[in-house]
Structure 1
Amino acid sequence: MDTINPFAPHAWVSSIDWSRPWLASVARIGQPMVAQIAQGLPVHAALNQYLPAALQEAGLRFVPQEALPDGVAYETFIREQRCVPTRDHLHDVFNGLIWLHWPQLKLHLNQLQAQAIARDGVGQRRGPLRDAITVLDENGAIWLAPQPLVEALRARQWQRLMVELRPLWAQSCLWPVGHALLEKLVQPRKPMTAHVLCLPWTPDTAAALQASGDAVSSALDAHMARDMLVCADVLATKPFSPLPVLGVPGWWAQNEELSFYDDPLVFRAARPTT
């Protein structure tokens, strides 16, 4: 498979398959926006055309990468200046799309990052909290699922999760929020894995979110920004579970053949406890 040039907008238009399930929540804006970028509109300017109310109320906008002064931390600059430095790069396209669809969550995570930097400095190591936020921001996904699925994922019981409990997936909702994850999935490969944050599930909550269609991110965004799962103390414990995303039922045609899950290099057993 040829590698996509992340700095070549004309290549993105033909390379991004917006019908992929993992892009469902961002495709309505993402597809026309990328087409505009391919015609010469800078990424930051394209993103500014679609600012949701939450970002407008926060006074946040996207600016060229050159606006970030030397020696100023990226997260601090966003918090203090209400500006997101943005390159004309595929990675930053997906970062911007996550900002547009999860504005309150992103503002909350930025606040936690900036507070940690103000308290501890940038340093050579991020520390547990900033590490966890980076994992969620770059490679995370949010999963609302019945408890048996969550327990099987946490135990890495892949046959139970993907085969025995497969019908239960129809009652779950999975939203990628990691922009690096979405960038990688432009060229999907079996080992690609998300770090999943599992939410408490009830039938009423799941039904309401599934029925809300395109509005699902907006409904969940407000909840996530104030949920205890994304408070500093909980995030610092890295409460994530690894999930090979091409194994998600309905997300990849090859996993209809259940031997897909027999690959121990991808669907790895849990480490033995000591």
Structure 2
Amino acid sequence: MAAGGVNPLSAVDWGAPWLEPWRLLGESLARRAVAHGGAVHTVLQSAAASNAVADRPVGFGPQSDLPAGTAYEQFIFDQRRVPTRDNLHDFFNGLVWLQFPEAKRRLNQLQAQAIAADGVQVVRGPLRDALTVFDENGAVLCAPPPLWDALRARDWHRLFVELRPLWGEARLVLFGHALMEKLVSPRKPMVAHVLSSPCALHSIANLDGWLATAIQAGTWASKPFVPLPVLGVPGWWPANAEPGFYDDAQVFRPPPLQRSGTGR
């Protein structure tokens, strides 16, 4: 999986707070992949076929399954099989398919419909772009209204400092597999594109069903997400307890109107 035979799955810290919802299944699959030479599609397929995750919408195969010139999303839609490389990116993608099968199927359905209507273009249209942004870097956040108000306003000091105790009532669940991959080597600027979720959804299965219903072509083309620097979340990164952590304007950026001064 990597030069020199080092398997990058060995570098995943499954104790990281952002991986808590993924640890039970993900850690066991990663260990099996490492033990069996890193064939990611093999361990994902065994999980998909097991009783523990029965009735999943797709299977997994090697990247060589994808014919040259065939769109990746279209292949998954037509064949119900995910071409998978032996790397962190595709491991986390498979893990999301296993945990959020209905939401992933809905994203794939809309991607395939857009490809059928418009073809594979050099630049994705607004809907496909939004679907890809969330698929790669999305998250869902259940939080009290004052936190959401501060987040939408990008009032970072209020969000993370003044309202810090309220984060004990919030729950942020990562969805984007590229974001999970990047967080294996955490850096302060990493951003999730966050969607508001109902706080009554306590299980991943219920969250999956809600998200699959929430993903709608008519509204998602406008990207109904809010950027959130994830390492600013209280309890997710020790450094954010230090004074001045949120003063970094290159990461915790003011709203566009404030940045431009006049808004023109």
1:56-75: CA deviation from partner (whole Å, max 9, x where unpaired) = 53552001110011111111
SS in 2 for 1:50: helix
1:153–1:161 CA contact under 8 A, matched in 2: yes
TM-score by length of 1: 0.88
1:120-151: CA deviation from partner (whole Å, max 9, x where unpaired) = 11111110000000000001111111111111
Superposed counterparts of 1:164-243, under 5 Å = 164-201=162-199, 205=200, 209=202, 216-227=203-214, 230-243=215-228
Query: 1:247 matched to which residue of 2?
Result: 232
Structure-1 separation of matches of 2:136 and 2:43:
21
Structure-2 separation of matches of 1:96 and 1:44:
8
The residue type paired with residue 33 of structure 2 is I
1:43–1:86 CA contact under 8 A, matched in 2: yes
Quote how far apart the aligned CAs of 1:12 are: 2.4
Query: 2:29 matched to which residue of 1?
Result: 33
Quote how far apart the aligned CAs of 1:7 are: 9.7
Quote how far apart the aligned CAs of 1:200 are: 4.6
RMSD: 2.0
Structure-2 separation of matches of 1:89 and 1:231:
30
SS in 1 for 2:151: helix
Query: 1:60 matched to which residue of 2?
Result: 58
Quote how far apart the aligned CAs of 1:258 are: 3.6
1:244–1:266 CA contact under 8 A, matched in 2: yes
Superposed counterparts of 1:1-274, under 5 Å = 5=2, 10-13=7-10, 15-39=11-35, 40-51=37-48, 56-57=54-55, 59-201=57-199, 205=200, 209=202, 216-227=203-214, 230-272=215-257, 273-274=263-264
TM-score by length of 2: 0.91
1:166-192: CA deviation from partner (whole Å, max 9, x where unpaired) = 111111110110100000000001111
Structure-2 separation of matches of 1:189 and 1:259:
16
The 1:7–1:179 alpha-carbon spacing in structure 2 relative to 1, beyond 3 Å, is farther
Quote how far apart the aligned CAs of 1:55 are: 7.3
Bigger Cα displacement from structure 2, 151-160 vs 46-55: 46-55
Instruction: Name structure 2 gaps, 5 residues minimum.
Output: 258-262
The 1:150–1:46 alpha-carbon spacing in structure 2 relative to 1, beyond 3 Å, is same
The 1:9–1:168 alpha-carbon spacing in structure 2 relative to 1, beyond 3 Å, is same
The residue type paired with residue 41 of structure 2 is H
Instruction: Name structure 1 gaps, 5 residues minimum.
Output: 210-215
Structure-1 separation of matches of 2:46 and 2:254:
45
The residue type paired with residue 269 of structure 1 is P
- What's the % identity of the aligned pairs? 52
